[in-house]
Amino acid sequence: MLIHSAPQLLTIPGGPQRGRDLGELGIIENGALLIREEKIIEVGSTPELREKYPDEPTLDASGSVVMPGFIDPHTHLLWGGDRAREFEMRLEGAHYLDILKAGGGIISTVRDTRTASLESLLAQTRPRLMRMFATGTTTAEAKTGYGLQTATELRMLKALLALDNEGPIELAITFLGAHAIAPEYKDNPQGYTEHIVNEMLPIVHDWWDTHAPRRQRMPFVDVFCETGAFDLAQSRQILEKAAALGFPLKIHADEFDNLGGASLAAELGAASADHLVVTSDEDIAALANSETVAVSLPCTPFGLAHCDYTPAQKMLDAGVILAIATDCNPGTAWTESMQFPIALACRAMKLTPAQAIVAATINAAYAIRREDRVGSIEVGKQADLLLLSVADYRQLGYRFGTNLVKKVIKRGRVYSVDVGYYQTA
């Protein structure tokens, strides 16, 4: 199929973009590309490709920016229940302790996830995946971490494998048994750390070997390195064991307190360090000298009505590889659309639309180490593409709160998204 007449075709060529190189869109005006089966075969100008492939079936992209599908490199996609009542209580002035007493906070999601069957978890999560896809996400990272006990964590892994298999979104799966201290170890974080290291990680390793289809790579292992969760030594203990078992690594760091998690990630060669709000200059330097992607999650401070965001300009100055993600989760940031962190990144972190788009595509792909297959429009890559309802990429970021995606192409298959349109029932 020949997709042609795109006023702007964003190729985003050449792999991840580091530091101040961020923002190279590789725009072809009046662009076209040839896709066959799942792959991108050729990219060029419309006159050129139309002449070369006169008999190819066509898809007219007039009036539409054509760009790579969004990669969402940090989500907590899978959970049971919701925390809408807790959200309301906070606005009614309830204190944190009242909310805990009423059964709120992350532990309420853990409870609702532990008691949910596999089928129920799948049913609750599918609408979220549908919204992600309809807003342009074609590949997403997705974590466990609302089990905090082996059986539920494995059920979450099973659910994520099932959802990846259903498609159309491909999932990069992460084991986050170290999301919080399990309630059973409430006063003994070191005990839970040992439990993860000595029991959960080896079990997950063997389970994955048996249950994951061959095309799924090893899951990432991730740790919430934060006051009240895992301290730096515990985070190191977990990640070093994971690395020894062959897992690739991720870390949640510097959301509220600076514990040195970002430097740890760089030292251990983690694929990414995520959140990064109160990151120190030393940590930024460590990231800049590594292949660890800094994944900023601007929806989280937004969701919490905080004023501090990732110091993106400092990071770009230092030479960090910057990506953005939704952090979709039931506590602080329930949004499925990558278009919203793009709009936030422009305002709260002063990225240009072009920079935010790269941070949401090829750099995001690198944060889940899939930059070889997705995140750009280059020959040989998977045909994961978006047609926008606008003709200028800068409308992303500039506009907010609605969906500018019109068609999503996943592995060469075209889906229409009827957003902003309606019909008589």
Q: Catalog residues that contact its own copies under the rule CB under 8 A.
A: 82-85, 87-88, 91-92, 127, 130-131, 133-135, 299, 302-305, 307, 334-337, 339-340, 346-348, 350-354, 389, 392, 394-395, 397-403, 407-408, 413-425
Q: How far is it, in rounded angstroms, from Cα 80 to Cα 45?
A: 47
Say if residues 186 and 154 touch (Cβ distance below 8 Å).
no
Residue 84: CB minimum distance to its own copies, A: 4
Residue 144: CB minimum distance to its own copies, A: 22
Residue 25: CB minimum distance to its own copies, A: 12
Quick one: 263 or 332, whose CB is closer to its own copies?
332
Residue 316: CB minimum distance to its own copies, A: 12
Quick one: 250 or 410, whose CB is closer to its own copies?
410
Say if residues 364 and 23 touch (Cβ distance below 8 Å).
no
Which residue do the tokens 């599908």 mark? Answer: 69
Residue 32: CB minimum distance to its own copies, A: 18
Among residues 282, 299, 380, 292, the alpha carbon closest in space to that of 341 is found at: 299
CA 242 to chain centre: 21
Residue 397: CB minimum distance to its own copies, A: 7
Quick one: 97 or 305, whose CB is closer to its own copies?
305
Residue 203: CB minimum distance to its own copies, A: 34
Residues sharing a CB contact under 8 Å with residue 365, sequence separation 6 or more, in sequence order: 16, 71, 73, 139, 371, 373, 374, 375, 376
Q: How far is it, in rounded angstroms, from Cα 28 to Cα 44?
A: 7
Cα distance between the two ends of the chain: 33
Burial, 162: exposed, middle or buried (Cβ in 10 Å; 0-12, 13-18, 19+)?
middle
Say if residues 393 and 357 touch (Cβ distance below 8 Å).
yes
Say if residues 270 and 297 touch (Cβ distance below 8 Å).
no
The helix (H) or strand (E) run that includes residue 127 is helix 118-134
Quick one: 234 or 361, whose CB is closer to its own copies?
361
Residues sharing a CB contact under 8 Å with residue 17, sequence separation 6 or more, in sequence order: 23, 24, 321, 358, 362, 363
Return the DSSP state at 369: T
Residue 88: CB minimum distance to its own copies, A: 5
Residue 81: CB minimum distance to its own copies, A: 11
Among residues 409, 419, 335, the alpha carbon closest in space to that of 74 is found at: 335
Quick one: 175 or 340, whose CB is closer to its own copies?
340
Quick one: 99 or 182, whose CB is closer to its own copies?
99
Identify any residues that bridge with 410 across adjacent strands, giving them in sequence order: 413
Quick one: 235 or 310, whose CB is closer to its own copies?
310
Residue 327: CB minimum distance to its own copies, A: 12
What are φ and ψ of residue 188, in 5° steps?
Answer: -145, 65
What are φ and ψ of residue 382, in 5° steps?
Answer: -65, 140
Quick one: 41 or 414, whose CB is closer to its own copies?
414
Quick one: 185 or 256, whose CB is closer to its own copies?
256
Quick one: 303 or 319, whose CB is closer to its own copies?
303
Q: Is the peptide bond before 168 cis (omega within 30 degrees of 0)?
A: yes
